[in-house]
Structure 1
Amino acid sequence: MGTPLGDFIRAKRDSIQPDELGIPDHGRRRSPGLRRTDVAARAGISVEYLTRIEQGRDRNPSVAVVNALADALSLDPSERNHLRYLAKITGGVCAAHTRPAPPRRDVRPSVRETLHLLEPGIAVVTNRLGDVLAHTSGYAWLMDGTGLLETGAPNLTRYVFTDPRARTFFADWDDVADEQAFDLWLAPSVENAEWFTAELAPLAGPDFTRRLNRHTVPKRDVLRLMHPTAQELRFRRETLELAADAQQLVVHLPADERTAQRVDHLRQQSFGRLRAVV
């Protein structure tokens, strides 16, 4: 049985062509990307050791080996951080015999006060599993008619992968889907992520599982939304990590003047109809 660390190394190895790293191609390859021999040689480890890491038979590589693998795969800073994180959680994973409890959904009063100060802006508090825990009225009217907030316990990840309306609402759905899948690896604990994926995977199907195991580090570019009443909206996202709570506060800022004007129009239409903060 593989591990998140091994899956990520194998996925990166398969995605890199030898000529990208100046490695000569000596004949036909059975699979795309780099051979284990290529990576092992660049990292200064044996092929057998790399095989054990990829297959999950060695769950505790040293910091030096992890850094060497990052160099061998020519990872960028975000990918290096993800590799180190996966090495950490892989080393601490034990077989779970009982179903872990889901993460807490409560939001500290001071965080709710912060949301109040952000009114009438567009802001939301979520955890890494995608649970929508609190939001401003601006976020409520932005999501009005999309289906996200129609359930008693809204979850952005579940919405993205299981609600057909999400594929229209998110203009760059593939990028958003990669973001949500990746964030599950940053959940409060690997057990919580496994709890959620056990619930989501049967509903979301193989596309979700493929994205989860691909470990694509998202770019988090401008978020483009096809709003039901305002056509295309473009937002920059500023994220404040609430590390002690394993939550994050995300503020959506108009990325251009057209979006700012449409946001003002939506706000005027929705004024008085929606609650201030959930």
Structure 2
Amino acid sequence: MGTPLGDFIRAKRDSIQPESLGLPDRGRRRSPGLRRIDLAARAGISVEYLTRIEQGRDRNPSIAVVHALADALSLDAAERDHLRHLTKITGGECSALGRGPQPPGRDVRPSVLETLRLLEPGLALVTNRLGDVLARTDAFEAVLADTGLFDTDRPNLTRYVFTDPRARALFPDWDDIADERVFGLWHGPAVENFAWFTAELAAVAGPDFTRRVNRHAVPRDQVLRLDHPTGCRLRLHRETLELASDGQQLVVHLAADAETAEAVDRLRRRAHGGLSAVS
């Protein structure tokens, strides 16, 4: 049985072309990407040890080995952070997967709710890594009202992206958004929450979701593009504040250009200056 750490290392190894690292082309290979023997040599470890890590038979590599693998795979800063996170949950929290269903809490601290009120009429929401929309400004709800996201009592961004056909029309970069939503699942609020949500969503989301779970595609910073149902194209920057003690995030959306600012202003006139919270 594999582990999150092993799956990520194998996925990165498979995505690397040997020539990009100055290695010779060894001809036809049974699988794409970098050979284990080449990665092991670059990291200064044995092929046998690398195999054990990838297959989940070694769950506790040393910090030195983790750093060596990061260097050998030429990981960037975001990928290195993810590698360290996966090392932690693989070595210390895998047992949590056997605890049974564990939905995360949905309470938002009063001070966070007050922060949202102060952000009105901005586009802001509080969410967790599973995608639950726990609270939002009226302006955010007004702008997204026609998209179908708030058609349920407990809106969830990840479920919406994978199960609502309107999401594919809303997000012209749907594949990137789908990768981003799945990547976020690995980072909270806890391993048992991840296991519960993944099992629940996999049954209805299909292969577009399940094939991404172990791919660990680290998202890149990019402008969020929305093809709004009213016909306008929105381009938004996202600023995210991690509420680490709560396992939540405060996300603020800012217009990336004048056209978006004008369109958002028209759409959010439907807001009434209050706060809508889901609990």
Structure 1 and Structure 2 fold alike (TM over 0.5): yes
In 2, are the aligned partners of 1:19 and 1:25 still within 8 Å (CA)? Answer: yes
Pick closer, same or farther for the CA change 1:112–1:230 going to 2, 3 Å. farther
Residue pairs, 1:182-193, within 5 angstroms: 182-193=183-194
Question: What code does the residue aligned with 1:118 have?
Answer: L
Pick closer, same or farther for the CA change 1:235–1:96 going to 2, 3 Å. closer
Quote the sequence identity (%): 71
Q: How far 1:227 sits from its partner (Å)? A: 1.1
SS of residue paired to 1:252 = strand
Question: What code does the residue aligned with 1:38 have?
Answer: D
Question: What code does the residue aligned with 1:59 have?
Answer: R
Q: How far 1:277 sits from its partner (Å)? A: 2.6
Q: How far 1:27 sits from its partner (Å)? A: 2.6
SS of residue paired to 2:241 = strand
CA distance in structure 2 between the partners assigned to 1:228 and 1:175 by the alignment: 20
- Residue 212 of structure 1 corresponds to 213
Query: C-alpha offsets along residues 40-75 of structure 1, whole Å, 9 cap, x if unaligned?
Result: 000011100000000000000000000000011111
- Residue 54 of structure 1 corresponds to 54
- Residue 222 of structure 2 corresponds to 221
Query: C-alpha offsets along residues 141-198 of structure 1, whole Å, 9 cap, x if unaligned?
Result: 1110111111111110000001100000112111111110000010111111111000
* TM-score where L is the length of structure 1: 0.96
1:277 matches 2:237:
no
Query: C-alpha offsets along residues 99-138 of structure 1, whole Å, 9 cap, x if unaligned?
Result: 1321100000000000000001100000000000000011
In 1, are the aligned partners of 2:170 and 2:226 still within 8 Å (CA)? Answer: yes
Number of residue pairs matched by the alignment: 276
- Residue 238 of structure 1 corresponds to 239
- Residue 7 of structure 1 corresponds to 7
1:260 matches 2:236:
no
1:153 matches 2:154:
yes
Query: C-alpha offsets along residues 231-264 of structure 1, whole Å, 9 cap, x if unaligned?
Result: 1111000111111111000000000000001111
- Residue 43 of structure 2 corresponds to 43
In 1, are the aligned partners of 2:96 and 2:192 still within 8 Å (CA)? Answer: no
Question: What code does the residue aligned with 2:34 have?
Answer: L
1:164 matches 2:165:
yes
CA distance in structure 2 between the partners assigned to 1:275 and 1:170 by the alignment: 27
- Residue 89 of structure 1 corresponds to 89
1:19 matches 2:19:
yes
Residue pairs, 1:121-200, within 5 angstroms: 121-200=122-201
Residue pairs, 1:45-124, within 5 angstroms: 45-92=45-92, 93-94=94-95, 96-124=97-125
In 2, are the aligned partners of 1:230 and 1:266 still within 8 Å (CA)? Answer: no
- Residue 203 of structure 1 corresponds to 204
Question: What code does the residue aligned with 2:172 have?
Answer: A
In 1, are the aligned partners of 2:96 and 2:191 still within 8 Å (CA)? Answer: no
In 1, are the aligned partners of 2:97 and 2:191 still within 8 Å (CA)? Answer: no
Pick closer, same or farther for the CA change 1:66–1:32 going to 2, 3 Å. same
In 1, are the aligned partners of 2:123 and 2:137 still within 8 Å (CA)? Answer: yes
SS of residue paired to 1:154 = coil
In 2, are the aligned partners of 1:116 and 1:277 still within 8 Å (CA)? Answer: no
CA distance in structure 1 between the partners assigned to 2:134 and 2:196 by the alignment: 18
Q: How far 1:96 sits from its partner (Å)? A: 4.0
Structural RMSD (CA): 1.3
CA distance in structure 1 between the partners assigned to 2:204 and 2:84 by the alignment: 30
CA distance in structure 2 between the partners assigned to 1:87 and 1:243 by the alignment: 19
Unpaired runs of at least 5, structure 2: none
Q: Which structure 1 residue ranges, 4+ long, deviate > 3 Å from structure 2?
A: 95-98
CA distance in structure 2 between the partners assigned to 1:203 and 1:130 by the alignment: 16
